[in-house]
Structure 1
Amino acid sequence: MGAPGLATLLGSVRYEVLPARATEDKVLAHVPRDVVVTVTASPVKGLEPTLDLAARLSTHGYRVVPHVPARLLRGEAHLKEVVDRLREAGVDDVFLPAGDADPPAGPYTGALPVLRTLGELGAPFARVGVTGYPESHPLIHDDVTVQAMWDKREHATYIVSNLCFDARVLGEWIARIRRRGVALPLHAGVAGPVQRAKLLAMATKIGVGESTRFLTRHPAWFLRFAAPGGYAPERLLARAGAALTAPSAGVAGLHLFTFNQIAETEAWRRALLERLAG
């Protein structure tokens, strides 16, 4: 990828963070106000920590995108409460995955019914994101995930792709969804410069039950981070450059999974931008 293309992607980033005790201070200390911050939601802790952190970061001047998993919503009344709370906090962008809660907290098992209900409520958010899966979902066939994006396209305004470590797979997936007529802007999901030891420590701090789920569902992530030479996001970006910057790809920017290594992620981004400028 040429320097201008990579610099453009790095200039339009979203940082995904977990709503832990120190997250707010880390964001304030290291993240510029022009970087979008997305806040995950936990099937164990529920929506409350996500909504609370999103509201606080919004008051600090950040554009915040809370994750609102469908399977954490207790029903339409609960959805209305969440909408009212976020709108009052000045939030106009939400990310709506299906979520991992099993069993679900209410009647929603996927994102599409929630998207439809938001439409019935007058489309209260200017931007609504949905999930894409370049690498196979552990429980859902690839054809189903691509079809789901087609079904959601009239209700959502953008797609966020889940983590992908293979440039070829990412490029083929982008081409595939575009051939299917899914034209929503895409934020390509990429892991930041994650240190394996810190990632393991972070998973442990999440909580015994949830960290076990985290490690069980994503063992390949740890193998990638522990591979000879380690993981370097700039290598992935360089290899995926043509796929990410092609006009037909419709990539609006990068969605960086920080795993709460927020200072390290921003330092890496700034250093890379400086090298590109130099």
Structure 2
Amino acid sequence: MKLASEKQVVSRRDAEAAERLRALVRSASIEATPRQILTVEHLPDLMPAGTCVYVPFLPKGRFGDTLEACQRLIDVGMQPIPHVPARMAESRGQMRDWLARMTESGVDRLLLIAGDSDAIAGPFPDTLAVLESGLLAEFRFHGIGVAAHPDGHPMADRATLIQALGIKREYARTTSTRLWVVTQFSFDPNAVIDWLQSLGTILEEVPVYIGMAGPTRVKTLMAYAAQCGVGASARLMLRRPGSARLLRAWTPDAMVRALVRYCLDNPDTLLRGIHLFPFGGLRQSAQWIQEHNGSVEGQRGQFHESSVQ
């Protein structure tokens, strides 16, 4: 009887893990450059209606490109989330113009980031400066996302970064703004889990979405990792037992399974979903989502809906 009971427990946990995995993938968001969005044919065939698509404003790009890509996403029933890089705004007036044009085009949420450039073009050295400016309060955005870095950041230690998240959470609370956190991509689930646990109660009920690379060749992945400051994490991944297969290709499967186990063991976790960086191409990452998410009916449109009041 004891053996049968143990098998039932294992079977139930396996079923719970499978459902949690489908739920995480089902609500997955994805990042896509303006060029990808504007040139890929049959975009609705890749991603279902309601999919949240993050649209970068690249350092050498034009804001108009980001806005045009957002408009195409809206036209096909998807949810654009444009990046708004604080350091790239040359003036308070330019930042206000960006926000106004997004609102006028139907964009109702954004990801506020400092930006990849070390140079500061105007009055906003970081995201806190944008929040303190009061500009966002002039517009009725449905929600605002902010970035986090589980593998660390070259410009600040963990305590400083977590303190900044607390300030952003307080801003959301006092302004009744819907807030969520989406992280830089990582290859190390242990680092992600350690970071999640280090948050304590600082974010209260703010949902967290963990970034990871979509399926791609390892050579491509390592290049992006070095560029984005997570090269150490990538090299650690390749030194692990069983990593020989990664010399052929990377997929986020093992990363997601580790996070699923964490969610089952920590039901109160703030982890709500995953965010894919399609370094191997938009089509390849979209196909991975389709293969792992189970039924998508009734699930889209719920992403990033939690709020801090």
Q: What's 1:254 paired with?
A: 274
Could you tell me which residue of structure 1 aligns to residue 217 of structure 2?
195
1:270 maps to: 290
How far has the Cα of 1:118 moved from its partner? 4.6
Is the aligned partner of 1:108 residue 2:124?
yes
Residue 239 of structure 1 aligns to a residue in which SS? helix
2:252 partner letter: P
- CA 1:84–1:180: 2 relative to 1, 3 Å: closer
What are the superposed Cα offsets for residues 228-253 of structure 1, whole Å, 9 maximum, x if unpaired? 22133111111222334533212222
Structure-to-structure mapping, 1:157-236, within 5 angstroms: 157-197=179-219, 215=227, 217-220=229-232, 223=235, 224=237, 227-230=243-246, 231-236=250-255
Question: TM-score normalised to the size of structure 2?
Answer: 0.76
Q: State the Cα distance separating 1:269 from its structure 2 match.
A: 1.8
1:237 to 256, 274, 278: 256
SS of equivalent to 1:32:
coil
Question: Any idea what the Cα deviations from partners look like across 1:93-121, whole Å, max 9, x if unmatched?
Answer: 10001112231121101001212335663
* 2:285 aligned partner, one-letter code: T
Percent identity over the alignment? Answer: 26
Q: Alpha carbons of 1:216 and 1:117: their partners in 2 closer, same or farther (altered >3 Å)?
A: closer
Check 1:106–1:121 CA distance in 2 against 1; reply closer, same or farther (3 A cut). same
d(CA) in 2 for partners of 1:181, 1:16: 24
Whether the aligned pair in 2 keeps the contact of 1:150 and 1:181 (CA below 8 Å) is yes
User: CA–CA distance in 1 between the matches of 2:234 and 2:65?
Assistant: 26
Larger deviation, residues 110-119 vs 263-272: 110-119
The residue that corresponds to 1:150 in the other structure is: 166
Q: Distance in 2 between matches of 1:194 and 1:161?
A: 19
> Which amino acid counterpart does residue 13 of structure 1 have in structure 2?
A
Give the match for residue 92 of structure 2: 76
Alignment of 1:13-32 (within 5 A): 13-20=28-35, 23-25=38-40, 27-32=43-48
TM-score, normalization by structure 1: 0.84
Question: Contact between 1:119 and 1:155, CA under 8 Å: does it hold in 2?
Answer: no
For 1:28-53, what per-residue CA distance to the aligned partner results, in whole angstroms no more than 9, with x for missing partners?
A: 44122231111112122253322221
| Change in 2 beyond 3 A, CA 1:232/1:107 | same
3-state SS, counterpart of residue 155 of structure 1 = helix
The alpha carbon displacement at 1:225 in A equals 7.3
Aligned length: 265
Q: Which residue of the partner structure matches residue 70 of structure 2?
A: 54
Distance, in Å, in 2 between the alignment partners of 1:216 and 1:152 is 23
Structure 1, unaligned stretches of length 5 or more? 204-210
2:103 alignment partner AA: R
Larger Rg: 2
Per-residue deviation, 1:24: 4.3
Would the alpha carbon gap of residues 182 and 112 (structure 1) be closer, same or farther in structure 2, given more than 3 Å must change? farther
One-letter amino acid matched to 1:34: G
- 1:81-100 counterparts in 2 under 5 A? 81-100=97-116
Change (3 A) 1:120 1:274: closer
> Does the CA contact (< 8 Å) of 1:196 and 1:225 recur in 2?
no
Structure 2 unaligned blocks of 5 or more: 1-15, 173-178, 296-309
> What residue is the counterpart of 1:41 in the other structure?
57
Q: 1:33 to 1:182 in 2, by over 3 A?
A: same
Could you list the per-position Cα deviations for residues 184-227 of structure 1 after superposition, in whole angstroms to 9, with x for gaps in the alignment?
Answer: 11111121112235558xx7xxxxxxx8x963744346645795
Say what the alpha-carbon RMSD is for the aligned residues: 2.7
